[in-house]
Amino acid sequence: MFDLIVCGAGPAGITAAVYAARQNLKTLVISENIGGQAALSGDIENYTGFQFITGPNLAKHFEDHLRHFDVELNENQSVSSIEKKSDLFRVNTGEGSIKSRTVVVATGGKPRRLGIPGEAEFKNKGLTYCAICDGPIFSGKEVAVVGGGNSALDATLQLTGIASKVHLITLNREITGDSIMIGKVGNSDNVEIHSNTKTLEVFGETFVSGIKVEESGSEKNLDVQGVFIEIGWVPNPPKVKFESGEILLDKGGAIKINEHCETSIPGLYAAGDVSSVPERQIIVAAGQGCIASLGVFKYLSTKKFN
């Protein structure tokens, strides 16, 4: 029996676990990986305390901080569902189920799909959603990045030193995102920006050999060997089952929370990109993990369990 089970080990989940450990709560963290989306970021220049740090390096700092405390960590596991009966939660994974008095859901997000022909067929065959994971595979090759915000800018900047040429394709008339990143992309010699351009199809034989786009009203093919889809993330909540009541989601599929990171189910909290927080930033997720954990402590301090 745990006082708290944290689902996810990104910035929100790790922060929640650290704060719980400092309150001497018996805590378990269940996660497929350490660092979450932060570990997939490239150069980070807006996390307080670090003028410059890479995503993997920041994730390593998070992990080191977590392992400093007496927190159990089940790695390479995913939460399939959460149930609540009476006052207790049961968190189910592929390895079995575990009981806890409270739960913090910090399972982050998953890549948003384009939903075009060839996307599913060529996934991991030249089409990917992670530049930092798969970028080195495309050394010296011509690639395309689809997206128009910070995720696309980050991927493009990572690929400029790897690929021979990067096509940045966006539906928008102009690239949006941090001005510093926009400037760096604009000054890159091997980046071609395709504004007001719709990606129609990914094609090839065994592997990607090109994409079809509609640019300024005209269709054409771009010969690329790699396609990176960077159009943002969608919330990734686990399935939840309760005897009474239900967990409320917003129209985007995120778990609705209040200012204390409480969900519609007492004892269940959510933090980070899986929640209805309006801003998707590493520092915001970490702050929410703190709020959720403090809420857990107050809940346990006032609740009488049968």
CA angle (236 as vertex; 230, 240 as ends), nearest 5: 170
- Catalytic residue (choose from 7, 43, 70, 134): 134
Full DSSP string of 21-59: HHTT--EEEEESSSSGGGGG--EE--BTTBSSEEHHHHH
72-75 vs 53-54, strand pairing mode:
unpaired
- Catalytic residue (choose from 3, 43, 130, 290): 130
Other Cβ atoms within 10 Å of 161 Cβ, number: 10
Is residue 290 a contact partner of residue 22, using CB atoms and an 8 Å limit? no
CA angle (209 as vertex; 234, 190 as ends), nearest 5: 80
Residues contacting residue 294 through CB under 8 Å, at least 6 positions apart: 19
250 is catalytic: no
Single-letter amino acid code for the residue at 170? T
CA distance readout (Å), 22 to 25, 70, 168, 233, 290: 8, 9, 45, 32, 11
- The tokens describing 131, both together, are 């530049």
CA–chain centroid gap for 87, Å, is: 30
Where helices occur in the chain by DSSP H, the ranges are 11-22, 55-67, 131-134, 150-160, 179-186, 282-302
Is residue 267 a contact partner of residue 31, using CB atoms and an 8 Å limit? no
178 is catalytic: no
Measured distance CA(218)–CA(216) in Å, rounded: 6
133 is catalytic: yes
Is residue 289 a contact partner of residue 260, using CB atoms and an 8 Å limit? no
Catalytic residue numbers? 130, 133-134
